[in-house]
Every structure is written in structure tokens, then in C-alpha cells.
Amino acid sequence: MATVSLPRNCGCLLNSVDFLHTRTTYYSSTFITCLTSRRRYSRCSFAKNSTRNGGEAVRDEAGNEGGEKNSKFIASRSGVLQACTITSALIAALGVAIRQVSHVASAEGLPILDCSSQVSFGFEMWHLELITGLVVFISSSRYLLLNTWTDFADSSQAANLQVLSSLQPLDYMFVAFLPGISEELLFRGAILPLFGMNLNGVGVAALIFGVLHLGNGRKSSFAIWATFVGLAYGYATILSSSLVIPMASHALNNLIGGLLWRYTSNASSQK
């Protein structure tokens, strides 16, 4: 089995990545929950003036309504957009910080790869073919899994129901592109080159990416899917040495997945 050799002095930096990204995801989920759950408004100081934007209780799959364990809450539109903006900004800031720190450390002679020089924002025309291939491959794979893997379909439905239900059509562009760009800046633009521009680095970045997609209604099946997607984006990053490819592919796949869910949900509700 291949082993991953970590650059010297990057242990603390990696721990900071895991801690800060986990805290960012946790506070974002908490922020949405506090904005949407009427019972929890009194516990959230930042939501005391937003009770009119509370969530809407919906029946669970068993048909139960009421009771904290048996009801789900649909996040308000303003809550989703605000949480998406804050989370994406923090993730992007963390990615930029790691790239800048690695650049300074490398310039000072420390044995740390310069992330900014390893993965740039360069673009060539053949990258369009790579982006198209990634979008077709990942979106078609996701569609296939949604129709064959029940646990993954349930995880996706739970997350989409909470986040996407209250959004307007144009909002899907916002919640698709912001996370797609910011997450790729962190995972493929910072964490991947930090571990090395090789398959080991791709695997580590994808594994962290997958694990941090747990929670908020998403089960281990969703983490497995996110890890698989992370491997595809990471390999494309190695081939191109460009962040444009994973950013564009990630954002477009998010958009396709969201619109597909909206279309199928509306079609099912009209039957």
C-alpha cells in the first residue's frame, strides 16, 4: 500500500485546516438551523430579530408531523443565502491563507511546496474538453446512483429538502457557484499541493473532502460519493495544473444537481 509522506512542519498547518473547516461547516449548519427552527430562536442571539423568517415544518417519510424528532425544517431563503455566503467566504479565505503561507514558507527555504506555483489559475482551450468530460461523467454518475442506491438518494433528498426548497430559480446559480469555487480553492488549490501533486495528494484531499460532507442529513453514502468526486477533481487538477477546471466543473455539477432535484420534485408533487 502506498504511504503518504507529509512535508516537514506542515502538521500544524494541516491540523488548522481540518479544525477551521470543520468549525466553518458546523457553524454554518447551526446558523441555518437557528434561522429556521422556531423553537431555537431564543437560544441564538444573532437570530432574535429574524423570527419572521422561521422555517416551515414538513412531514417526514413516515407521515408524522410535530415533535422534534419527527419533523424537518425547511430553511428560509434568506437563511440559506446568508449561510452560503458566510461559509464560502470563510472557506475561500482559508484556502487563500494556506496558499500565501506556503508561498512565504517556500521562499524562506522551508521544505513546504508553494501551493500557488503548483496550481495556478491558468486556462487553455483544451481545458474546456476536460471540464465538459467531468461534468458529463459526474452528473451522469450521480443520476445513476440516485436511481440505484437508496441510502444515497435519501441522504441527497434530506440535504436538498432543507437547503434548496425555499430558493428561487436564480438562487441556484448562487448556491452552486459560490461553494464550488471556494471549496476547490481550499481542497484542490491548497490541501492537494500541500501533500504533493501526485495520487497520494489527490487521495488525501479527496478523503478530507468526503468526510467533511457528513452531517446535515447526509449519511456515510454521501461522504463516499463526495470522496469519489474529490478524486475526479483532484486528478483533473494534476493533469491541468489549473484551478479553473475543478472550480468550473464543481460549480456546474452543483447547478445541474440542484436543478434536477427541483424539476423531479415539482414533477412528483404534481402527480
Q: Is residue 69 part of a domain?
A: no
User: Do 161 and 224 touch, CB atoms closer than 8 A?
Assistant: no
**Residue 246: what pLDDT?**
98
For residues 26-46, average pLDDT: 42
* pLDDT one-digit tens code per residue, 203-223: 999 999 999 999 877 889 999
Question: 197: which 3 cell numbers?
Answer: 501533486
Q: Is residue 218 part of a domain?
A: yes
Higher pLDDT, 120 or 55: 120
* pLDDT one-digit tens code per residue, 41-77: 333 333 334 334 444 434 443 344 443 333 356 789 9
Backbone φ, ψ for residue 199 (5° rounding): -65, -30
Other beta carbons less than 10 A from residue 263's beta carbon: 10
Per the structure, the complete domain to which residue 151 belongs is given by 76-269
User: Do 172 and 262 touch, CB atoms closer than 8 A?
Assistant: yes
For residues 161-172, average pLDDT: 92
Q: What one-character DSSP code corresponds to residue 198?
A: S
Q: Is the dihedral of CA 198, 202, 208, 211 positive or negative?
A: negative
Q: Is residue 63 part of a domain?
A: no
Q: Is residue 208 part of a domain?
A: yes
**Residue 264: what pLDDT?**
86
Which of helix, strand or coil describes residue 212?
coil
Q: Is residue 132 part of a domain?
A: yes
Closest among 201, 180, 183 to 192, alpha carbons compared: 201
Q: Is residue 253 part of a domain?
A: yes
Mean pLDDT over each residue of the chain, to the nearest integer: 80
**Residue 271: what pLDDT?**
63
Q: Is residue 166 part of a domain?
A: yes
Other beta carbons less than 10 A from residue 195's beta carbon: 21
Terminal Cα distance for the chain, rounded: 52
Of the pLDDT bands very low, low, confident and very high (cuts 50, 70, 90), residue 270 is low
For the chain, the domain total comes to: 1
* pLDDT one-digit tens code per residue, 87-116: 999 999 999 999 999 999 999 999 998 999
**Residue 265: what pLDDT?**
82
**Residue 225: what pLDDT?**
97
Distance of alpha carbon 99 from alpha carbon 103, whole angstroms? 6
Q: Is residue 123 part of a domain?
A: yes
**Residue 267: what pLDDT?**
67
**pTM metric for this prediction:** 0.76
User: Do 177 and 81 touch, CB atoms closer than 8 A?
Assistant: no
* pLDDT one-digit tens code per residue, 252-263: 999 999 999 998
